[in-house]
């Protein structure tokens, strides 16, 4: 049954992409009820926003306890729905959710509480400013199928701790994970109506969100879909946060620990069958260590096993999640081979892989910059390794991409690695590691160029879930500011003396301006306007 047929029947069937068997049926949401859903969300949000951060944190704590207690069940649900291995599901989906609960519950108040803003000039000595972070209201989240649990759940927790209501739309390929998220949220005992899970066509749900006045939309997905949503959001000036993928470079310098570098390349390139926005896709290796790096990575790749990941622990790599993604990976590899690339190594299948969307972990060499797998996002278990003369060439090639999500530098010299990292065009750069910072709740996640706009995670992610509001007041009562009516020559000269007082050319001008400014200030601020 196609996705379109599933939606027409009102039931979305979740099919295990590794076996082709149905694992769940989820009822589609009647989108005519969206106005009622939004009304209930706004009503509940007003109640929720009035709660203290500590009160909100207690609800999040209940969710964390549920996640920890049911870690095995959650990992299996993700594995069966997405196709990744049980270990992958536990490590990169379940564990990050528990960590997110802890960090946001503990740190939201620190980053979102009311704060004093120091004055910028003595001329406004009578003014005080407090900065508030005000909840957005109703936040929409449209999440992808590659990390169907950890990506949306982290954003849900951020939004809740910031005081918002949440309306979630998970990917059509992984609806069973959306139902699992419903159960986690239910364990949090939130006010009724604060969270809603909507099942249906992504484009129709997005349109419904905009039509019903969603206050902000968080979207993770493809570049074309993100551009479409952004254009749609422009009609109502609805703010959006977009994470749209990456084509991440890995730079291996001549002083790198090649054992660690090849271990990291294998994991960050092939984990989740390569379906990671922040996974390694392009590897630039300095000439002096190129041959040794390729030999090591190839030997390790041949030892990897791909197969059905939900049935046990004798596989390293699961299946891709959709037939369309499998076709994309096949096309990219065929394009590379037709242009002269060489397959150095591939993983080996274990068990029955005939009914799933499997593609072996693949190391490509002799690749050129015009190949699809180099210039675009493959989003599969394929790494393209290129020889470069030095670090300058590596940096130039790494930055020559329309995507800029994450990158990594591999060297024994951390200072050198950080210096090169600062020159790389990406939202995140890691030294001697890759594809893990999404699991660090304290670090922001997002990219440059066509990798998207906005940030999730960390203090920056919390702030994205709020509106900034300044509250400013006078500490002493006064009748007028110095630049208020009525205007006369004294007003002009007074403002000019204020300018010289703040920016004097010398001590003489400072003293002269202050002597003239003081009586003008007193008169302007504390005497009535004579009418």
Catalytic positions, written as ranges: 243
User: In angstroms, rounded to a whole number, what is the distance separating the alpha carbons of residues 450 and 244?
Assistant: 7
The residues with which 121 forms a beta bridge, in sequence order, are none
| Conformation bin of residue 211: beta by default, left when phi > 0, alpha when psi is -120 to 50 | alpha
Maximum Cα–Cα distance for the chain, whole Å? 93
DSSP strands (E only) in 244-347: 248-252, 280-286, 305-306, 342-346
User: In angstroms, rounded to a whole number, what is the distance separating the alpha carbons of residues 131 and 451?
Assistant: 30
Q: Mind giving me the DSSP string for 460-474?
A: HHHHHTEEEEEEEEE
Alpha helices in 384-443 (DSSP H): 391-399, 414-423
Given the DSSP bridges, would you call strands 362-365 and 382-388 parallel, antiparallel or unpaired?
Answer: parallel
Reported as type and span, the H/E element at residue 372 is helix 372-375
Backbone torsions φ then ψ of 501, nearest 5 degrees: -65, -40
Nearest to 21 by CA among 352, 330, 514: 352
User: In angstroms, rounded to a whole number, what is the distance separating the alpha carbons of residues 309 and 81?
Assistant: 11
**Using only C-alpha atoms, what is the Rg of the chain?**
28
């Amino acid at each position: 049954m196609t996705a379109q047929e599933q939606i027409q029947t009102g039931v979305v069937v979740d099919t295990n992409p590794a076996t082709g068997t149905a694992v769940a049926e989820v009822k589609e949401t009647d989108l005519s009820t969206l106005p009622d859903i939004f009304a209930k969300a706004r009503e509940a949000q007003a109640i929720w926003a009035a709660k203290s951060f500590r009160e909100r944190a207690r609800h999040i704590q209940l969710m964390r306890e549920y996640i920890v207690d049911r870690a095995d069940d959650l990992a299996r649900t993700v594995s069966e729905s997405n196709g990744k291995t049980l270990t992958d599901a536990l490590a990169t989906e379940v564990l990050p959710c528990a960590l997110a609960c802890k960090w946001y519950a503990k740190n939201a108040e620190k980053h979102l509480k009311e704060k004093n803003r120091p004055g910028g000039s003595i001329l406004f000595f009578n003014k005080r400013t407090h900065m508030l972070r005000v909840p957005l209201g109703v936040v929409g989240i449209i999440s992808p199928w590659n990390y169907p649990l950890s990506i949306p759940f982290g954003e849900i927790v951020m939004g809740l701790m910031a005081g918002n209501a949440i309306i979630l739309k998970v990917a059509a390929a992984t609806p069973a994970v959306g139902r699992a998220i419903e159960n986690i949220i239910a364990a949090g005992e939130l006010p009724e109506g604060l969270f809603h899970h909507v099942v249906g066509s992504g484009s129709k749900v997005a349109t419904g969100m905009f039509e019903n006045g969603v206050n902000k939309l968080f979207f993770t997905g493809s570049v074309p879909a993100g551009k479409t949503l952004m254009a749609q959001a422009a009609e109502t000036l609805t703010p959006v946060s977009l994470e749209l993928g990456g084509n991440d470079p890995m730079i291996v310098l001549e002083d790198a620990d090649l054992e660690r570098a090849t271990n990291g390349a294998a994991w960050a390139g092939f984990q989740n069958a390569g379906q990671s926005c922040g996974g390694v896709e392009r590897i630039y290796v300095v000439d002096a260590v190129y041959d040794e790096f390729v030999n090591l990575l190839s030997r390790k790749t041949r030892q990897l096993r791909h197969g059905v990941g939900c049935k046990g622990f004798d596989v390293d790599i699961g299946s891709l999640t959709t037939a369309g993604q499998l076709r994309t990976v096949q096309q990219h590899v065929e394009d590379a081979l037709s242009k002269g690339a060489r397959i150095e190594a591939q993983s080996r299948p274990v068990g029955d892989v005939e009914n799933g969307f499997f593609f072996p972990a693949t190391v490509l060499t002799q690749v050129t910059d015009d190949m699809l797998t180099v210039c675009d996002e493959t989003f599969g278990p394929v790494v393209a390794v290129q020889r470069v003369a030095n670090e300058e060439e590596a940096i130039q090639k790494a930055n020559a991409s329309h995507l800029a999500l994450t990158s990594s530098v591999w060297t024994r010299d951390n200072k050198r690695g950080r210096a090169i990292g600062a020159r790389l065009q990406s939202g995140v750069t890691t030294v001697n590691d890759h594809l893990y910072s999404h699991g660090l709740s304290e670090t922001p996640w997002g990219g440059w160029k066509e990798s998207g706009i906005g940030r999730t995670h960390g203090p920056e992610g919390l702030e994205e879930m709020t509106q900034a509001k300044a509250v400013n007041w006078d500490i002493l009562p006064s009748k007028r500011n110095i630049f208020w009516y009525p205007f006369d020559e004294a007003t002009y000269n007074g403002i000019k003396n204020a300018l010289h007082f703040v920016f004097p050319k010398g001590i003489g001008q400072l003293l002269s301006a202050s002597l003239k400014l003081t009586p003008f200030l007193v008169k302007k601020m504390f005497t009535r306007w004579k009418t």
